Amino acid sequence: MVEELPGIGFLAGALAALLGGVFIIAGLVAFLLAYGFWTGRGWAWILGIIFSIVGIVLGAVSLIGNSASIDWINSGLNNTV
């Protein structure tokens, strides 16, 4: 089956490299933000508040999305009984 998809290894490698790059950038941003907090920089507090708000919004969207999928699963189970 692997012989039928010759480019799948390249695609998986490229995706892993891209994801690794994203994680490295996120780690560097977190390190710089921690340095800003440690030294009491004003920009760090502002960025911390912005990232916290973005995290809360994404968490709420995820919660709503997961709730909708659970309702969809439950409605499917109720129809089969």
Q: For the residues 8-36, what does the mean pLDDT come to?
A: 93
What are the extents of the domains in the chain? 1-40, 41-81
Mean of the per-residue pLDDT values of the chain? 84
Q: For the residues 47-70, what does the mean pLDDT come to?
A: 85
Q: Which residue has the higher pLDDT, 37 or 10?
A: 37
Model pTM score = 0.60
d(CA 10, CA 23): 20
Cα 2 to Cα 8, 12, 13, 63, 64: the distances in Å are 8, 13, 15, 37, 38
Task: Please tell me the number of Cα atoms within 13 Å of 1 on its side-chain side.
Answer: 0
pLDDT of res. 80: 53
